[in-house]
């Protein structure tokens, strides 16, 4: 008897997509599997390559584990192929039994305060994409401000603040692109101000990220005694939560530190609710106006009515990421995710108006769950999605052209300059060779055309 075969498309070669492929291939099942992984970038690994900060080599090292999965050779990669433009849902239905969307989230969530659109006001995601050498972002970044603000109290806010405050020569051993290093080296920044609405015991960043700030060479950490007048809820959080305990300990140590010698300062402002980005009259950022908040006794905060202002010439909002809609796939605009039940995509039934499963379509990672959590969380996420995919065998699509060759014919027929795993190896080696010439581990190739040409062995 011939066994069933699952031809699976996964859209998104970030950690979520790669883990999903790996988990399915290793899962107990009574059918064969053949997986094609599509990504609109010519390089895999998603935000591990284009989000994780370059001075976090330990986290970037997760790429080694993801690479081992790809190098096993049982997953085909089609890079430089964008779902919604180069391929559609109809195409996938024609060639596969099912699709998993693992397209993550790359846009900045919005922050609706007056002045947020002034010149000099940026989204953290755009800045991150620039310093991580994302091919679809401008290569120039205006770093002209002496005083800069960062709104947010999560790990991305701290990444942005650290990258702005760190001396460029200390980033040289990392994989930052040459243009990024040159721009940071010329930055006149002296003060970076980080603003959080709540107190030190309610932050979203992790102790490791915080501690790193205190290790920056020639950068003073400036914190304010007025932020440490804890109420009962804050004291309970310190006593009852290990993470909060460590964060508090780090901050308390910094309170005792001598400051005044460093050429740069990184200020942490807690209980500071941004109200307005103030204009200089010519449409440029001149200051951040914020309201001092106070604990409300229940773990939250309330405004005190006390308004303060700090002059600055640039501001970055790091208030979260947001997923993007995909053509033909349901999308929850509010949360920026594909609506789903444990990874099974849900659609609205036209007749009944009720929500029901969209057969053959699954989601995993940040586009399934929203942009929270670390890389490791995408693994448990993928397990849940794969469990349903396996159990749904009876509801898979029945493609008319399921052969592996037919997909290549389709891409070739459309003139798409797709890249494959060998191509990624070529690009990877090329980047490492560029790095070796300057005694660095890697120098990223940034322009998309160049990435594709190197991958396809055309240069």
Contact residues for ligand FAD, defined by CB under 6 A: 11-17, 38-41, 46-48, 51-52, 56, 59, 82-84, 102-104, 106, 128, 156, 159, 321, 326, 365-366, 373-375, 378
> Residue 280, Cβ neighbours under 10 Å: how many?
14
Query: What is the smallest separation between the CB atom of 102 and ligand FAD, expressed in angstroms?
Result: 5
Handedness of CA 226, 228, 232, 234 (dihedral sign): positive
Alpha-helical (H) ranges within 88-241 are 89-95, 124-131, 155-165, 178-185, 207-213, 232-240
Which C-beta is closer to ligand FAD: that of 53 or that of 287?
53
DSSP state of 310: E
Q: In 259-393, where does DSSP find H-type helix? A: 366-369, 377-391
108 or 227, CB closer to ligand FAD? Answer: 108
Instruction: Tell the smallest beta-carbon distance from residue 82 to ligand FAD (Å).
Output: 4
Minimum gap (Å) between residue 216 Cβ and ligand FAD: 17
CB of 286 to ligand FAD, least distance (A): 27
In whole angstroms, give the CA distance from residue 438 to residue 428. Answer: 16
Output the CA–CA distances (angstroms, integers) from residue 345 to 301, 332, 357, in the order listed: 37, 11, 6
C-alpha torsion angle, residues 171, 176, 179, 184 (rounded to 10): -30
Q: 15 or 120: whose CB is closer to ligand FAD?
A: 15
CB of residue 38 to ligand FAD, shortest distance in Å: 5
Question: Which residue number, 93 or 292, has a Cβ lying nearer to ligand FAD?
Answer: 93
Shortest spacing between CB 147 and ligand FAD, in angstroms = 23
The DSSP code for 255 is H
Cβ partners under 8 Å of residue 236, min gap 6: none
Residue whose CB is less far from ligand FAD, 45 or 290: 45
Nearest alpha carbon to residue 396 among 350, 366, 349, 357:
357
**Cβ partners under 8 Å of residue 87, min gap 6:** 38, 81, 410, 411
- Output 51 or 200, the one with its CB closest to ligand FAD: 51
Nearer residue to ligand FAD within complex by CB, 27 or 372? 372
Q: In the bound complex, what is the minimum distance in angstroms from residue 258's beta carbon to ligand FAD?
A: 30
Q: To the nearest whole angstrom, how small is the minimum distance from the Cβ of residue 123 to ligand FAD?
A: 11
Phi-psi sector, 31: left (phi>0), alpha (psi -120 to 50), beta = beta
Nearer to ligand FAD (CB atom), residue 159 or residue 191? 159
Nearer to ligand FAD, 106 or 244 (CB): 106
Strands annotated E in 375-440? none
Measured from the CB of residue 26, what is the shortest distance to ligand FAD in angstroms? 18
Q: Which of 226, 198, 191, 157 is nearest to 311 (CA)?
A: 191
């Amino acid at each position: 008897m011939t066994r069933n075969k699952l031809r699976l498309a996964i859209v998104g070669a970030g950690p979520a997509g790669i883990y999903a492929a790996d988990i399915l291939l290793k899962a107990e099942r009574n059918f064969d599997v053949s997986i094609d992984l599509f990504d609109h970038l010519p390089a895999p690994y998603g935000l591990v390559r284009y989000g994780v900060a370059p001075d976090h080599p330990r986290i970037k090292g997760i790429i080694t584990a993801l690479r081992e999965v790809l190098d096993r050779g049982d997953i085909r990669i089609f890079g430089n192929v964008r779902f919604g433009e180069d391929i559609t849902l109809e195409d996938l239905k024609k060639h596969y039994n099912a699709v998993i969307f693992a397209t993550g989230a790359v846009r900045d969530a919005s922050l609706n305060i007056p002045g947020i659109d002034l010149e000099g006001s940026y989204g953290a995601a755009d800045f991150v994409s620039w310093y991580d050498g994302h091919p679809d972002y401008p290569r120039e970044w205006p770093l002209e401000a002496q005083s800069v603000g960062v709104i947010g109290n999560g790990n991305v806010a701290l990444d942005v603040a650290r990258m702005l405050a760190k001396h460029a020569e200390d980033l040289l051993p990392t994989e930052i692109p040459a243009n990024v290093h040159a721009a940071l080296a010329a930055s006149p920044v002296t003060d970076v101000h980080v603003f959080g609405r709540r107190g030190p015991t309610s932050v979203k960043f992790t102790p490791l990220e915080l501690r790193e700030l205190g290790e920056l060479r020639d950068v003073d950490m400036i914190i304010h005694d007025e932020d440490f007048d804890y109420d009962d809820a804050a004291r309970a959080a310190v006593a009852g939560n290990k993470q909060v305990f460590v964060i508090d300990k780090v901050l308390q140590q910094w309170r005792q530190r001598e400051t005044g010698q460093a050429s740069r300062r990184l200020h942490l402002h807690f209980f500071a609710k941004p109200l307005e980005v103030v204009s200089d009259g010519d449409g440029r950022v001149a200051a951040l106006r914020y309201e001092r908040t106070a604990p409300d006794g229940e773990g939250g905060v309330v405004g005190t009515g006390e308004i303060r202002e700090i002059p600055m010439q640039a501001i970055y909002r790091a208030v979260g990421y947001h997923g993007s809609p995909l053509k033909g796939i349901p999308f929850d605009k509010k949360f920026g995710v594909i609506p789903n039940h444990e990874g099974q995509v849900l659609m609205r039934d036209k007749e009944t108006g009720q929500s029901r499963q969209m057969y053959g379509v699954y989601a995993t990672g940040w586009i399934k769950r929203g942009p929270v959590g670390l890389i490791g969380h995408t693994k448990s996420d993928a397990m849940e999605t794969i469990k349903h995919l396996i159990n749904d065998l009876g509801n898979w699509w029945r493609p008319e052209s399921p052969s592996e060759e037919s997909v290549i014919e389709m891409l070739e027929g459309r003139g798409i300059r797709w890249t494959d795993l060998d191509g990624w190896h070529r690009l990877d080696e090329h980047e490492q060779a560029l790095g070796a010439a300057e005694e660095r581990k890697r120098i990223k190739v940034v322009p998309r055309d160049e990435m594709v040409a190197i991958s396809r062995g055309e240069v």
